[in-house]
Amino acid sequence: MILFQLKCEHDHEFEGWFKDGATYEAQSASGELSCPHCGTVNVGKALMAPRLRTSRQKDEAAEKSSQVAMVEATKAAVAEIRKQVEGNCEHVGKKFAEEARKIHYGETEKRGIYGEASLKETAELIDEGIDVHALPWQDDIKKN
């Protein structure tokens, strides 16, 4: 689609959308174009400024591109952290809070663990002085 600024013999200006330049030429030659203000069919192209990206639009596009790059870099960093944790620590599942306490109080050997804990369990571990960190795992399953 192409947009032309049109002007009739009475200086009324208006826009017209066309499939391409040839379609405009064909409609103009056959008298199919008319002014929406006065109805005359003596219509031609008017001068029009090209649509250029303003510096603001360029800045907005650059900002969006930067944000997308930051999101992708963050996803890659989280994936690397997950790879390191899963490769070097023991998965204890829902027994995370229990195992973290055992390690903290010396009831079992000291080792890196990961698993699941509720917000309440996590808050209790922190209150006890147990160093825990929530990690933003992304599910492998896509959700709608």
Residue 141: per-residue pLDDT = 47
Contact by Cβ (8 Å): 103, 131 = no
Interval 85-113: pLDDT, tens: 999 999 999 999 999 999 999 999 999 99
- Residue 57: pLDDT band by 50, 70, 90 thresholds? confident
The mean pLDDT value for 29-48 works out to 90
Q: Comparing C-alpha atoms, which of 31, 36, 30, 27 is closest to residue 7?
A: 36
